[in-house]
Amino acid sequence: MRIGTLLKTLVCVGIATAYPNFKDILPNGNEVPHPCKANYVWHGVGHNNPLGGGSRNQFGLDFKAAGLSWTSELCRKDSDGDGRTNGEELGDPDCVWKQGTLPSRLTDITHPGVCTLSDGSICDADKGWIDCQVEDGLKNCDVMKEPETLNTTIRFPETAVPAEETTYSCMIFNLPSDQDYHLMAYEPYIDNEMVMHHILIYGCDPTKDPVPDEKLNTVTKCGMSAASNCNKLIGLWAVGFSGYCIDGPMGFRIGQSGFKQAALEFHWNNPQLETNWKDSSGVTLYYTPKLRANDAAILSTGQTHIEIPPGQQSYTVVGKCHSECSRQLIQEPINIFWATNHMHYLGHEMSIKVYRNGVFYTELTNDAIYNYDSPVEKKYSTAVQVLPGDEIVTTCKFKSLSRPKTTFFGDATSDEMCFGFMAFYPATNMPFPTCTAWKDISICNMWLQQEHNDCKWVDFIVVNVNETKRVRDEVMANCKPFGNCLSECKATLQVLFAEHPCMQGDVYELIKEMAIEWNNKEMQSFIVAVDSCKAEMAADLYLKNLQNDNTNGSDRLDGICSLLLSLIVYMMIK
């Protein structure tokens, strides 16, 4: 996947043409797997092209004959002739599913338009038109043809894949460091496509002590972070990508004055909990001593707090890199020359927009139909300049019709993400190239300043002195964790909620979440004590507003009890 300098306009590589509404009127229509490409979804269920559009397969023909609707007759048909009805393959064996409800089965979904045998192999009749090859390798990457270009292949040693749905494993390795080079391209080597979800390459901070030799080339479980000092993203691969190639006046600096060590992070996806899988995937790096004019880096934006209710046709999540934060992070203008969006399988639309002085300036990405299996790259012949103080807004839209429960932010494929990745130069103009948000709290307020709306939230959690101690002592003296809401507790909280910045809005929710993540028992007890009265106080407020409202009427009164009950239940579970 090449960053071309000859492109005169914005080019989108990859097209998703499946009709989203058609998938919505089929049971599990958004969850039909590719019959021979692991971790791929067949988005155009009724078409020979997995992305949709073009000629129809037999199920598509039957679907059209049924008036483009899910009928009992269509459900009971065996369109692909493999001995299973369309309903059995799509999780509606009794043919009772109605749009807007959950099918009776959400797992073991198979393709109703592709004949597959009991062992999962494709019938001979369909082998001719099914493409089971996963694209690999870079094509037309000029830098790989330059005589000066060198390459090295880094692979995991053969490693057992844990019988867990999601595993993050990392390995740190040395980069060539006899002189300065620019990393210009990389392509994946996928050993086990059944489990490989994505690969990230992180540069390790050259100003910190290097990882000792005895810890290099060793695979370890690592969560979503390879190492504290290895956090500068310099490469990424996901299902649907074939690699990456830069053709322009920039490159990722490695060597004597650049990254001397790097980390490979693998995300293995094993939802079937297979116990006998192994993997030794890796990447081939292409680098050159013929240095370009600029060092490149990758900027990450997006939202790290996601709660998607089940059964939603469309649910929007927004992550803002606020102008105040970008002014801190971007020291001089940066030039974005490549961008891509990243969500998981519930994602159906995503964009990244730039606002300057509060006014829309430009669009960096816009996937009107997002397809996880076929990510779209935005490539710019003329780099898009982003200035200090520009606001970068990342908007993700999710469709959760197939989910019976709330979907949260997380690293598993069954979780969701909302990230934008943008390659830019010069790297020195944005030394900390991450501008994500947690709800409406910017990363600057979270981790650089550790303060939001006058609340020093980290101190509030971990430092039990002075003002923090006073607040904690007041609450614990007047409130009873896991007990009834005491009148003295309610009076204390009324003052704190009104006056103390750490007890209000998103920052209090952040404090609650981080107290759990950091396993701070003392703060957890404080939160339980506070929550002992939150539901009752919310009910009091509702009733007070009701008394001040002179509007009467039977329609309004009919809804009071149910609304009040819903409010109390909601507050109790928050």
CA-closest candidate to residue 38, choices 413, 342, 359: 413
pLDDT at 549: 65
pLDDT tens by residue, 186-244: 988 888 988 988 899 999 999 999 999 999 999 999 976 777 889 999 999 887 788 88
User: Span 36-54, mean pLDDT?
Assistant: 79
Q: What 3-state DSSP class applies to 415? A: coil
Residue 201's Cβ-side half-sphere holds a number of Cα atoms within 13 Å equal to 30
- Give the number of other CB atoms < 10 A from CB of residue 380: 21
The pLDDT of residue 38 is above 80: no
For residues 441 and 506, the answer to whether their CB atoms sit within 8 Å is yes
Domain ranges of the chain: 13-131, 134-295, 304-424, 457-573
Rounded distance between C-alpha atoms, residue 394 and residue 363, angstroms: 10
pLDDT tens by residue, 86-112: 999 999 999 999 988 889 998 889 999
Handedness of CA 550, 555, 558, 560 (dihedral sign): negative
69-to-26, 33, 312, 369, 465 alpha-carbon distances in Å: 8, 21, 20, 22, 65
The most distant pair of C-alpha atoms in the chain lies apart, rounded to whole Å, by 83
Per-chain mean pLDDT for the chain = 87
Q: What 3-state DSSP class applies to 448? A: helix
The pLDDT of residue 49 is above 90: no
Instruction: Return all residues near 153 (Cβ < 8 A) that are at least 6 apart.
Output: 189, 282, 283, 284, 285
What proportion of the chain, given as a percentage, has pLDDT over 70? 90
The pLDDT of residue 357 is above 80: yes
Of 10 and 46, which is predicted with more confidence? 46
- Give the number of other CB atoms < 10 A from CB of residue 361: 16
User: Span 3-23, mean pLDDT?
Assistant: 41
pLDDT at 197: 87
- Is domain 134-295 annotated with CATH 3.40.50.2020? no
pLDDT at 138: 73
CA-closest candidate to residue 319, choices 443, 234, 455, 458: 443
pLDDT at 3: 37
User: Span 431-456, mean pLDDT?
Assistant: 94
pLDDT at 17: 41
pLDDT tens by residue, 252-262: 999 999 999 99
Domain pair 134-295 / 304-424, same fold: yes
Q: At residue 140, what is the residue type?
A: N
Q: At residue 488, what is the residue type?
A: E
CA-based Rg of the chain, rounded to a whole angstrom?
27
pLDDT tens by residue, 150-201: 999 999 999 999 999 899 999 999 999 999 999 999 988 888 988 988 899 9
Q: Which long-range contacts does 512-518 make (Cβ < 8 Å, 24+ apart)?
A: 514/457, 514/461, 515/461, 518/461, 518/462
Rounded distance between C-alpha atoms, residue 33 and residue 492, angstroms: 55
pLDDT at 321: 98
Helices (H), 189-306: none
pLDDT at 541: 75
pLDDT at 573: 43
CATH classification code of 304-424: 2.60.120.230
For residues 348 and 416, the answer to whether their CB atoms sit within 8 Å is no
User: Span 258-285, mean pLDDT?
Assistant: 93
Of 574 and 260, which is predicted with more confidence? 260
Q: What is the model's pTM?
A: 0.79
67: left (phi over 0), alpha (psi -120 to 50) or beta: left
- Give the number of other CB atoms < 10 A from CB of residue 271: 14
What is the SS3 assignment for 71-97?
A: CHHHHHCCCCCCCCCHHHHHCCCCCCC
- H or E, element range at 385: strand 377-386
pLDDT tens by residue, 288-315: 999 999 999 999 999 999 999 999 999 9
Q: What are phi and psi of 106, to 5 degrees?
A: -110, -5
pLDDT at 547: 73
pLDDT tens by residue, 366-377: 999 998 878 888
- H or E, element range at 308: strand 307-308
394-to-322, 340, 367 alpha-carbon distances in Å: 11, 11, 12
User: Span 494-519, mean pLDDT?
Assistant: 93
